[in-house]
Chain A
Amino acid sequence: MADKATRLRVLALYKELHRLGRDYPDPSYNFHGKLRGLFEKNRNLQHKEEIERAIKLGEYIRNETLALYSLRKYRHLKRMYPQDSFSDPFHDDTTNTHPKA
């Protein structure tokens, strides 16, 4: 196993990914199972470069998951609160003129 500093980094990354996995939108996707499996598969890595590469992959997955969550929320809000909404206070339903007329 690698030195203590690397061990702490890996543990921190695991905890972070685990916490993120709680908010995963698809309930049928076994996030925690896959997370555990992937970390356990690499538990006996010895070479520094291999360990670094694995950590980088973990960080990449963390960033991708964060991006997924942000985008999903933004798209939902954009749909729910569209810009040219008929419910906006300036929309006048009494006239028949098209805005571009």
Chain B
Amino acid sequence: MRPTPARLLNILVPVKRTIDYAVKIRVNPDQKGVDLNVKHSMNPFDEIAVEEAVRLREKLKDEIKSIKVVTIGPPKSIETLRTALAMGADSAIHVEIPDSAPAPEPLGVAKALRALIEKQKDGVDLVIMGKQAIDDDAGQTGQMLAGLMNWPQATFASKLVVDPATKEANVTQEIDGGLQEVKAKLPLIVTTDLRLNEPRYASLPNIMKAKKKPIEKVSPADLGIDLTPRLETIKVAEPPKRQGGGKVESVDELVAKLKEAGFLSKS
């Protein structure tokens, strides 16, 4: 008789569709936003999260029961889900909002994720998500979700080791001045840092295979949540243009200018 594993893990990976990292951002003339008519792709930190989930399955094999990806976004966000499915996720959930709707805020996203997790029949043991999105750089969603679920959180992870038998995880976190290792019990929220892994590029055969994987559509109303923003963007502006430096002719002149600017004491 084959021994059955102690517990099969269900992993949830929330991903976000953001403006592609290589695009030069242009502020709109009305100074309320940026030009969104540009190339979009999956948030790079979320790619790292999907990759980590897939690597966990490669390592733990049957002990990972499912890898589900979810995104909250307009219809076009389905492309992001397909990329994740092509990287190795099993199924996807699309919380669809209209094209005209404003971008959801971290608290709204966290509440939606909580509602989704509570709806999952098999439960969720591990949530792996990017530490921040490259468009708003909020870096709040993972932490807020942990607070709402009352789950432990291991943020800025640069290494993740999971033991399904004991339902524990060892996470190495990138903190100011070095690394910190923590041990946590599942269910757990992990947010990924840049050095966690190198995401794979979805190959064409995998992209084809991914077309057959299921994508479930859900609306915010189905989850009973309101994604109305609580913050109002007053103004968006480019950083000030860099002022050219001045040239000095002698050391004395340099010292005089530094004193003038207040960098040296006037003694």
Seen from chain A, the residues whose Cβ lies within 8 Å of a Cβ on chain B are 12, 15-16, 19-20, 25, 66, 69-70, 72-74, 76-78, 80-81, 83-84, 88, 90-91, 99
Contact = CB atoms under 8 A, between A and B. Distances in A.
Contacts, number: 36
A66 B194 contact: no
Q: Tell me if B's interface is mostly helix, strand, loop or mixed.
A: loop
A66 to B, nearest CB: 5
Interface of B: 21-22, 44, 134, 174-177, 194, 198-199, 201, 203-205
A83 B198 contact: no
What secondary structure prevails in chain A residues at the interface with B? helix
A74 B194 CA distance: 8
Contact of A19 (B174, B177, B198, B204): B204
A25 B22 contact: yes
Given A70-B198, A80-B134, A99 B177 contact: yes
A19 B21 CA distance: 19
A69 B201 contact: yes
A13 to B, nearest CB: 10
A88 B204 contact: no
Contact of A74 (B175, B177, B198, B201): B198
A78 B21 CA distance: 12
Given A15-B204, A78-B194, A80-B134, 18 more contacts: A16-B203, A19-B204, A66-B201, A69-B201, A70-B198, A70-B199, A70-B201, A73-B22, A74-B194, A74-B198, A77-B21, A77-B44, A77-B194, A80-B21, A81-B194, A84-B176, A91-B176, A99-B177
